[in-house]
Amino acid sequence: MDETTDALAHALRDVRQQVDNAARSANRPTPRLLAVSKTQPAARIAALAAAGQHAFGENYVQEAATKIAELGPLGLEWHLIGHLQSNKAKDAATLFDWVQTVDRDKLVTALARHRDAARPPLNVLVQVNIDDEASKHGCQPDEVAPLAAAIAAEPRLRLRGLMAIPTPWPDLERRRSAFAQVRRLYDGMQATHPGVDTLSMGMSEDLTVAIAEGATMVRVGTALFGRRPATTQPQDAP
Ligand SMILES: *Cc1c(COP(=O)(O)O)cnc(C)c1O
């Protein structure tokens, strides 16, 4: 193992330990760990995969396309966790195993239309906007049920649950209350759609609180890969 591979393997062990501990104290099953690999080169993703990590999250369709092509032979599981523009729905339905950011009907139709019938259905999460007034991404809480119904009606899609990115309030108790609100929406979705099994919330800084409030998947970047370069990543061109 070279130095980087070794460091990544250590970070993975530490994060898994933290996730395990949080689940144990909350008396919940251990959540899945999604490694958020935006801005990370394919070689570092391959190194983390060699250490045993299987699922990776990317924010930008174009950036992901290159990495997925390069890392295809590793058989990794790819999640889109960034905002999806409708004109990128075809690429997203082709490249990814999961899309976590479905927040409007138009995307449901487009993803279903473009998912290859020869492949398993595309796994889909509804993204809900709980308290982030600065962002237009994510549907409103009262739109979750109709959107879930639309997804469930599409044979090429598989409704798996709910995803949220609450405002990162410095006060963790304020974050906890946002996570608890998402959890209540998730419970409602599960009551209507018993196949639903995924509540994606919590990142490097607040995964312990998210797990205590019921997350079944945490999305972790910085704690695995280290701090990303400060340069802002351009959004996919419209
Ligand atoms: C970048 C990102 C993460 C990971 O954030 P860290 O703080 O680096 O762990 C999780 N979810 C989404 C949607 C992201 O964009």
pLDDT, the chain, mean: 94
Whichever domain contains 197, its CATH number is 3.20.20.10
Please tell me which residue, 36 or 235, carries the higher pLDDT value: 36
Site to probe by mutation for ligand 1, drawn from 79, 219, 227 as the one with most ligand atoms within 8 Å of Cβ, is 219
Locate the ligand 1 atom nearest the alpha carbon of residue 222 and give its number. Answer: 8
Determine, yes or no, domain membership for 237. Answer: no
Give residue 135's pLDDT: 85
Nearest CA owner, ligand 1 atom 13: 81
Looking at the DSSP bridge assignments, the partners of residue 138 are none
Q: Which two tokens stand for residue 164?
A: 């949220």
Average pLDDT over residues 119-135: 93
Amino acid found at 200: S
SS (H, E, C) 211-224: HHCCCCEEEECHHH
Give residue 228's pLDDT: 82
CA distance 50 to 212: 29
Give residue 238's pLDDT: 40
pLDDT tens readout for residues 34-45: 999 999 999 999
Give residue 2's pLDDT: 66
Distance 82 CA to ligand 1 centre (A): 9
Determine, yes or no, domain membership for 111. Answer: yes
pLDDT tens readout for residues 91-112: 999 999 999 999 999 999 999 9
8-state DSSP, 229:
P
Q: pTM, whole model, 2 decimals?
A: 0.95
Cα within 13 Å of Cα(195), Cβ side = 11
Determine, yes or no, domain membership for 24. Answer: yes
Is the minimum distance from the CB of 222 to ligand 1 under 6 angstroms? yes
Determine, yes or no, domain membership for 20. Answer: yes
pLDDT category at 227 given cuts 50, 70, 90 is confident
Determine the straight-line distance between the first and last CA of the chain, rounded to whole angstroms: 41
pLDDT tens readout for residues 196-220: 999 999 999 999 999 999 999 999 9
Range of 58's domain?
3-225
Identify the helix (H) or strand (E) that includes residue 32: strand 32-36
Is the minimum distance from the CB of 219 to ligand 1 under 6 angstroms? yes
CA distance 121 to 224: 29
pLDDT tens readout for residues 136-146: 899 999 999 99
pLDDT category at 230 given cuts 50, 70, 90 is low
- Does the pLDDT at position 234 exceed 90? no
Q: Are 114 and 89 in contact (CB under 8 A)?
A: yes
DSSP alpha helix (H) spans, 158-238: 172-192, 207-212, 222-225
Determine, yes or no, domain membership for 233. Answer: no
Distance 147 CA to ligand 1 centre (A): 24
Give residue 137's pLDDT: 95
Determine, yes or no, domain membership for 70. Answer: yes
Distance 215 CA to ligand 1 centre (A): 15
How many domains are there within the chain? 1
- Does the pLDDT at position 236 exceed 90? no
Determine, yes or no, domain membership for 236. Answer: no
Give residue 1's pLDDT: 54
Q: Which residues of 53-75 are buried (b: 16+ CB within 10 A; e: fewer)?
A: bebbbbbbbebbbebbeebeeee
pLDDT category at 132 given cuts 50, 70, 90 is confident
Distance 62 CA to ligand 1 centre (A): 18
% of the chain beyond a pLDDT of 70:
95
Determine, yes or no, domain membership for 238. Answer: no
